[in-house]
Structure 1
């Protein structure tokens, strides 16, 4: 699992345990840092589905990593996000069974 980084630091910190089956991210984080960079760093060590919720989908659909597993544009419907989380959990569980 991953701990939130402290304001002013550049790196995310791994706790050494994997407890997340999915990751929810935005392109621009509240502190002005890049959600894309954060997800790239996390995916170096943990291959999990990513759900991006963003007002800037064109910044993600470039063919470079991370290509989002799921993409929701703002404004969004909370029920759609719940459905995508369910799908992410289903596919993550299926990939664990197959491995």
Structure 2
């Protein structure tokens, strides 16, 4: 602010215009940073809500001893999910779906 006032008193238009342009650029950069921070906070809150819902579902499943994997919340679909979160999800074995001659078939358990 002091520099702006000093430049305005000298009366040199180019220096004042350049300084005002730099100040406007700094203000725009600051505003963009604030918007980005708010967006990041919203994403983090949404991810926390999804994890909370998934945790409640897992607690309910553990208490009832019933699991239907198609109805559980998938936390790997959230933006910014970690490798640890993605690693916990079960995937189908590739060899189980192949029709090749080296696939192992499970034998039915006879009791």
TM-score (norm 1): 0.24
Identify the structure with the greater strand proportion.
1
Q: TM-score, normalised by structure 2?
A: 0.21
The structure richer in helix per residue is 2
